[in-house]
Structure 1
Amino acid sequence: MAWQGIDAIRNCLDKFGPKRRCGPFIREYRKLVLDLAKLRQRVAGESDPHIREFLGYALSKVAISRSQIFQDAFVTYVLREKQGGFFCDFGSTDGVFMSNSFMLENHFAWKGICAEPARSWHEALRRNRPGAMIETRCVWSESGQHLTFMEAPSMELSTLERFNHADGRSKDRRQATVYEVETISLNDLLRTCNAPSELDYLSIDTEGSELDILQKLDFHQYLPRIITVEHNYTSSRDGILALLTSHGYQRVLPEVSLFDDWYLAPGVRLPS
């Protein structure tokens, strides 16, 4: 359905012709529609029907999605637009920018946790996500530690100092603001927020510490139905895959998830 609308929009814009465009907005819109039409042709040639279906579905959520690469749409696609689910999202930035949980909370009535240690995000996060439980301690493998944190100028690249060189982006942190943060383990975070044992969605984006955090998660107590975890093509990617598959998770749609990996818990399947 989402792909079918492209033809109607494109045909309408073609009536204007290149000499009758009405300013920069029409030009940009025309380019966007034509690019989407080209993408549709490429997607139509995919042998995996799940890729075709998901990309079409993701396009239908463009107006409300806030994720960097449609992680939020992946969640609603798999869970068939479940209402009232529960998420745990870290790092959450300001709660809107590249947020994997904003759409879930604001359009599907989900509840959950937004964790973000970068101080410059905190005021905006509280303002933008008043319905979420906000955690400003740094999610780590253990609680109660005090570690050095690097808040980068491009704040989405902020990370613990020990992971500065893990992702090849250390040059982007040369002008980072450095300060100490207190840590909280994922187990303690979920327990103190009364998260359900089978929470629906766990989003992990910590610029290098993802594997360390997941290794300490009690999967007997907490089994997220969907996990999206950023790997940035680092060496920890294989370790995350080995860990999660040992607990019965299946990695899906790697062609689409790019620098993320997307996992489904045992018994959770892509729509057929």
Structure 2
Amino acid sequence: MGGVWEEWWWWCARPGRLPRAAPLTILIATVLTIITLLFFLNAKGLSRHPVPHQVWDLEDHDFDGAPQNHPDLVSYIRQLHLLAPSTGPYNLHNPNFSDFSQNGQSKKIEKILKGKRGGFFVEAGAYNGEELSNTLYLERHLGWTGLLVEPDPWNFWTLRKRGRKSHAVHACLSPSPYPKEVTFKQSDTMGHIVSGSEENNPHGIFTRVKCFPLYSLLLALNTTSIDLLSLDVEGAELQVLKTIPWEKVIIRVVCVEYKHVPEGGQALITYLKEKGYALDSTLGDDFIFVRKDIVERQNEGNL
């Protein structure tokens, strides 16, 4: 290969040829560079996700409507969508902050769970992993880990740079008990799944995003026990909660935004009461619910 390049440069350098050959040389060099980069990036991706061939052969649309506990779906999420926790240092804009949550949700949850260490959370609507985070305090100060769910590609790109010690997935929580792909409107902290009334509105920035059921994501993480579910999905909160097979999972505390729920905040209270939860407090636009058995143990002084 070296001899070929030497002959090429010798030919280009001959008197009278360089001015005409230079643009072509630059073009060829650029194309070769791009091909080389793509090759190495693809090779890196393959080595990072050693998965069975049958998973590679499946396309995203093959899972549309699949049961949320389907083993192929769970393997697909685990191998191709979950990003591992960072092993490096945090890269925060405001590292001296303690509680990054908007209205003290993190400290409230710490109090409810009596300062529990090493807990597990799921934060849906994780934004950039730092600002307005309900889980960063728990992760940094109490050694928690968990899953950060963020569908907005710009926010997720920023989140990945924060060095969070939790898994992350660029997706939304499905409002149905099966995976689906939706149109998502990007809008900083207000991004949301597009409703029927918005589909013909050309204003805004839209993208297609995969949605996975919460239960599918938990199975991909090999856990069905959550200390905190933080749910801020701009209106789809009740729908997401209704996809959960409550008899198969344990969720101790639910922090859920009620402001944009079409059915209203009372619908959230009614539904979660039926599932065995008590409304503990309201902080800003969030309800904080606690499993009744935890409340009872707290009242008895056993927690």
TM-score normalized with structure 1 length: 0.68
Matched, 1:160 2:193: yes
Query: In structure 2, how many angstroms separate the alpha carbons of the residues matched to 1:102 and 1:176?
Result: 30
Q: Flag the 1:175–1:104 CA change in 2: closer, same or farther, 3 A.
A: farther
Residue of structure 2 in register with 1:263 after alignment = 289
Query: In structure 2, how many angstroms separate the alpha carbons of the residues matched to 1:123 and 1:233?
Result: 25
Q: Is the 8 A contact 1:211 1:236 kept in 2?
A: no
Counterpart amino acid of residue 160 in structure 1: I
Query: In structure 2, how many angstroms separate the alpha carbons of the residues matched to 1:175 and 1:268?
Result: 46
Residue of structure 1 in register with 2:110 after alignment = 76
Matched, 1:120 2:148: no
CA RMSD of aligned residues (A): 2.2
Matched, 1:187 2:221: no
Matches within 5 A, 1:1-272: 63-140=97-174, 141-152=176-187, 155-162=188-195, 176-195=204-223, 197-232=224-259, 234=261, 235-254=263-282, 257-269=283-295
Identity %: 24
Q: Is the 8 A contact 2:225 2:251 kept in 1?
A: yes
Q: Flag the 1:79–1:208 CA change in 2: closer, same or farther, 3 A.
A: same
Q: Flag the 1:206–1:174 CA change in 2: closer, same or farther, 3 A.
A: farther
For the pair shown, the structure with the greater C-alpha radius of gyration is 2
User: Per-residue deviation at 1:129?
Assistant: 3.7
Q: Secondary structure at the match of 1:148?
A: strand
Q: Secondary structure at the match of 2:233?
A: coil
User: Per-residue deviation at 1:150?
Assistant: 0.3
CA deviations 1:96-121 (Å, max 9, x no partner) are: 01001101111110010000000001
Structure 2: which 5+ residue stretches go unaligned? 1-95
Counterpart amino acid of residue 190 in structure 2: L
Counterpart amino acid of residue 228 in structure 1: C
Structure 1 stretches of 4+ with a deviation exceeding 4 A read none
Counterpart amino acid of residue 286 in structure 2: D
